[in-house]
């Protein structure tokens, strides 16, 4: 397979050119290009440059605004709301972030609800700015109804990712970002693109039978991780980032899409916690205890979540990123 090596600057410039060429405003094109470049940089191909195909397709189908400016509202002492106006979530998050951090430092805990947004990005991108600020973070969002609940055979939940981050001072933060489905939908789509079967347990076909055929699963239903446990987490995300913030569930998002095949539309909930407000002068003592936990994990040979991502980042900053020639050509064709 022929590969193409791009520096991070080249990858970002390519993404920006594609987005601006298709009508995204400078503000949206900048944050989206940065996001997909960073996903590729961090070894997260399912949320990297490949996402440009779905981003442009969603725009061409009229399912995302290319230029709506977010409206950020100071809703309560510990609540920020950001109305994305039907655009991607990234600009709304960026503009609401300073107020979220300010409220978290004041109250010790604060929430950001992003409404009416189209969402495609990995959630670690929304968590890392919080850990960079010394805060603990949590984020979740529904998607389209692609995932069957445990015991069911028809799509109801989204892939419904959840992410958590813990600041570690000068060390890379502890961040996990995972779908509540057995795999991210993008991983199945990448298997389909590569002509490879998916692992058992990722999904079922339209008859409710287990399948390793990526197309059959995309036409049928994905499965949650851990059976009923993952199913309960998925339902939690539906509620927290749906009715709680006045936004759509995954089934409602899919109905809104009405067969267009656009990216998910709805809301995202982000929570932030300030250890210094919880702990006061004892904060450093208890944060050191957290490091003892991390050291104990690694001493057994366990990897901390996010380690591979930060290793990939360091490598990409020196060597750039590598994508297939086919993907590169497909992206260039969007210009």
Distances from the Cα of 75 to the Cα of 91, 97, 196, 236, angstroms: 19, 14, 48, 23
307 counts as catalytic:
no
Measure the CA–CA gap between 147 and 156, rounded to whole angstroms. Answer: 6
Any residues with CB less than 8 A from the CB of 15 and at least 6 apart, and which? 32, 33, 36, 37, 49, 52, 331
Distances from the Cα of 56 to the Cα of 23, 203, 298, 306, angstroms: 9, 27, 41, 29
Residue among 28, 40, 47, 128 flagged as catalytic: 47
Residue among 7, 13, 25, 46 flagged as catalytic: 46
Residue among 40, 187, 238, 268 flagged as catalytic: 187
Measure the CA–CA gap between 218 and 59, rounded to whole angstroms. Answer: 22
Distances from the Cα of 318 to the Cα of 54, 250, 315, angstroms: 28, 39, 5
Backbone phi, psi, residue 305, to 5°: -55, 135
46 counts as catalytic:
yes
Measure the CA–CA gap between 166 and 318, rounded to whole angstroms. Answer: 27
27 counts as catalytic:
no
Residue numbers annotated as active site: 46-47, 187
């Amino acid at each position: 397979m022929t590969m193409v090596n791009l520096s991070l600057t080249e990858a970002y410039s390519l993404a920006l050119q594609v987005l601006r060429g298709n009508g995204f405003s400078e503000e949206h094109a900048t944050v989206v290009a940065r996001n997909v470049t960073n996903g590729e940089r961090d070894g997260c191909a399912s949320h990297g440059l490949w996402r440009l195909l779905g981003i442009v397709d969603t725009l061409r189908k009229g399912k995302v605004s290319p230029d709506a400016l977010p409206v950020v509202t100071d809703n309560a002492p510990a609540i920020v709301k950001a109305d994305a106006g039907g655009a991607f979530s990234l600009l709304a998050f960026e503009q609401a972030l300073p107020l979220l951090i300010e409220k978290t430092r004041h109250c010790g805990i604060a929430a950001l609800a992003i409404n009416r947004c189209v969402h495609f990005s990995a959630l670690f991108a929304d968590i890392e700015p919080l850990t960079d600020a010394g805060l603990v973070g949590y984020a979740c969002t529904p998607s389209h109804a692609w995932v069957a609940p445990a015991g069911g055979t028809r799509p109801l939940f989204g892939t419904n990712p959840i992410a958590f981050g813990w600041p570690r001072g000068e060390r890379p933060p502890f961040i996990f970002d995972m779908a509540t489905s057995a795999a991210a939908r993008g991983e199945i789509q990448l298997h389909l693109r590569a002509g490879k079967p998916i692992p058992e347990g990722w999904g079922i076909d339209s008859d409710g039978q287990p399948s390793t055929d990526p197309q059959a699963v995309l036409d049928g239903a994905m499965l949650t991780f851990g059976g009923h446990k993952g199913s309960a987490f998925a339902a939690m995300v539906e509620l927290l980032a749906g009715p709680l913030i006045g936004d759509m569930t995954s089934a409602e998002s899919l109905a809104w899409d009405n067969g267009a095949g656009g990216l998910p539309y709805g809301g995202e909930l982000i929570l932030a916690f300030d250890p210094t407000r919880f702990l006061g002068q004892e904060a450093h003592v208890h944060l050191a205890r957290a490091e003892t936990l991390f050291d104990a994990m690694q001493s057994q040979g366990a990897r901390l979540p996010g380690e591979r991502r930060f290793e990939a980042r360091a490598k990409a900053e020196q060597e750039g990123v590598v994508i297939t020639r086919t993907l590169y050509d497909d992206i260039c064709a969007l210009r």
